[in-house]
Structure 1
């Protein structure tokens, strides 16, 4: 028991020492609702984890979450998530989520409608480097949207 307390104390001090201000750093928490068998959703979750997010996954489908989080149906995709006070729909790149959390715009959240090839989670070997153009949309309080970031089409290299 005493040994475990010592090890826990060392772990806590190591975390504090690793922080630039001596305060433990926390990773943003993303909660995801998806189908339990969706491979691209699993890949998107891995993308978030690799880019500094802690992720809680609910394998219960996403229709109810999309409605609850006020994402318009026309912006739908295969998974819905929340981070802080924002909703996320579809294959939103981690860098745009980080930007959203930094800028804190008055909005519902971000959406990447559909499942564009080349977006995070839709970028596996199956697609052989193909990247289609797509927009990350800022979903405004009235349900309208505007481009938050545009990603261009990238030509695939011949294999």
Structure 2
């Protein structure tokens, strides 16, 4: 069996363009763009997953596919907290796993070929950094734990509670 990567991502959101414009220094990580495309009637959903080493605001403002999300456009920003000081290499591995698993409508690359064996653990937070105790509908189908061993998926959700 080949080596297996484990990556932990802290996701926060949802943010609007205005939120990001007011915090242009927020940078280096993954992002999920959510909402609906023109004339879509179904629920808002994750439409695109990407990465940037620069400013999230600048990347999303200039992105040619994000503009196709015309209704309820929002963003979730993901910071890799493990491994520490993760390089672009780890952003790419996490992005590949999420895109292959989720198959977001606007992503074209990374949907066909399976990623390297990887486990991604997703922790979800509000914009202010407080933990989310309940899942939002927008990402309810994107499990907290996605693990791919090269043959099989193992997925699941984490229960969030405090010791108080």
TM-score (norm 1): 0.32
Query: Which has the greater radius of gyration?
Result: 1
Greater RCO, CA 8 A, separation 6+: 2
The structure with the greater share of residues assigned to strand is 2
